Structure 1
């Protein structure tokens, strides 16, 4: 059983003037698995969020006005891809891989988890 410790996101900023870092977001979920604390980081293009917002149902759009995509994306990814939990970092580089995370999204389950209940 997993216990979610935190789920947060960051907009990356340029560290060098010629760096494309400001085009990316990082989403991080920390969870307890047994007696171990683990972390999963997802790096993705910020543009993918814009595409997502255009395609959301009204209920999902309402959810993402209360919870930013970057703050819960790693959690959603972990819920959908439990086999990837041993990984520490994932880079999502295609629109289809990003949008797939949101297919068949159980908003009520995600809200329950974000409120501190276990997975």
Structure 2
């Protein structure tokens, strides 16, 4: 699978009676079997304020390397896809439970994540051989 892009952004109200401003969207675009797909992860914006509870990151940007800065919302969909490869067949994922959200980050190898991000920014893609490379294995 070729990962092509990761991005994230805060939703804004389109109408005064909607609640978009309580949510963020994270997207990961990838190519599998010659078909380009995008997984859109919609989640409660509050999780951006508490990510230090379930990740080693203390503040945004979460990755700063070689002049590249990456915010938390940019890696959420990528982490979800790594943790649950079955999401490759889905277009959307909605997470409103703190417990469910934190579960996606459990056992992620955060030391290896910059490897993907740098490849995306510098080479316009990252060839993912196995998501297991980015999951901590029991000793």
Q: Is the 8 A contact 2:7 2:75 kept in 1?
A: yes
Closer/same/farther in 2, CA of residues 34 and 97 from structure 1, 3 Å limit: same
Cα distance in structure 1, aligned partners of 2:42 and 2:55:
21
Q: Which runs of 5+ in 1 are unaligned?
A: none
Structure 1 outlier segments of 4+, above 2 Å: 53-57, 60-63
**1:38 matched residue in structure 2:** 37
TM (norm. structure 2) is 0.76
Question: How far does residue 61 in structure 1 lie from its aligned partner after superposition?
Answer: 3.1
Q: Larger relative CO (CA 8 A, sep 6+): 1 or 2?
A: 1
More helix by share: 1
Closer/same/farther in 2, CA of residues 56 and 107 from structure 1, 3 Å limit: closer
Question: How far does residue 103 in structure 1 lie from its aligned partner after superposition?
Answer: 1.1
**2:99 matched residue in structure 1:** 96
Q: Which runs of 5+ in 2 are unaligned?
A: 65-69, 120-125, 129-139
Superposition RMSD in Å:
1.7
